[in-house]
Structure 1
């Protein structure tokens, strides 16, 4: 599948962040709900005086309703003349037009082969939770989950190690027709800060729907003593949804960063990521 930019157009990379509290997720929806994509495309159309023309964004990670982003990446293909005319002042004009819960930090001409979604080699999320008896700091309530049982971080890290690597994460994903649930989980670790907030760092080549929040739900069940550290890996191996795995609330989740290869490898990664994945056949006979 070709991803070449049409003649006369320029591919522009956007680095952005948003507070997901009042958004119905990233992607535009037919029901007219407020979305991050919709707000940025509307603002872009206004500040470039494009009339009825909407230039559609492609994003690295489609976040769900209530999920935040600090290091989101998107791209948009703009007519070369429009880009040349507005390039110098576009960032400041967007700052004046966008609502305060979404910001674009940079607009740069993307290198050849760049695709915000398919060129990415990893996405890193953080999920923040506290088990403080008093609850969550009111100033952080929109970004930290309160878990009202004491959590054993060492037990959670022991459980997390059993989930690393390339697996079929069907047990932790909301199934989508025609989509694979095979992913490579590169990092899953938890650390308690001096403020008592536990931050889970989750990094993978890509994520399927609800995967991060389901993984955190399983680890919380281990952390509060309801399940042993071996349990999340057993659920993974079973390959089916377990009713005991809860999808935790979205507000504790933030997309922190998206990683890309060197410019000369972008096109190859772009093509590789479009291929449907399967796990290698392991073992021998019998």
Structure 2
């Protein structure tokens, strides 16, 4: 049962409504105020769960989160039962809710969470990729330059990486990942998790990029990417490869960056400095 004056964040099903917890059903029925990312989806979920909503329902999404947070705080101060839900999964995690949590913390109002379905953990469990240590990266940048910059910063990340992605951008993102992180990097594409057409496609980044390019990718997408494997190579071992690339006209700095890619623990800057010194010593 919801407690009055307590901000409650509740996870909702990511696809199959039968995954809804008993606590969620009771919270929906008992709430005085429900802040929903999409009020129409909330109404459909309530119908699926055969729950009668008696609460006042307001929309609560990225475009009005700051403004509506004040309404939530006012209701909490009045001792009302306030519930925050999103379209699917847990509020706050790549979804609205963080501003409400931060505001409640700052004003000393209590917070509780009703746990439940998670697209991140569901995809990770089904991926076949090491789940012991992982990082959630949310939605990658849409712009190509920013996407590449992010991927370059993650090229040596040893933990498994989990991303959300739009179906229409999945092919381009996988292609960029294959180019920056390495074509042979193990990965998985999970789509429509817990729904009728659930599918998990596993393979190398190159294979998945080709698959996405050949198929119409539909539904909610989660990408699971294996972390970088440690290497025993030393920077000195890669200097010749850098100089060979530079001899074809490639900038030395770019050649060092490309040679360092895929070798965990080797700094592109250190490799560049070594190559610069070697080239100076050789008089070339």
Q: TM-score range by the shorter chain?
A: under 0.3
Q: When you count strand as a share of all residues, which structure comes out higher?
A: 1
Q: 1 or 2, which has the higher helix percentage? A: 2
Q: Does 1 or 2 have the higher relative contact order (CA < 8 Å, sep 6+)?
A: 1
Task: Give the alignment's TM-score, normalised by structure 1.
Answer: 0.25
TM-score, normalised on structure 2?
Answer: 0.25
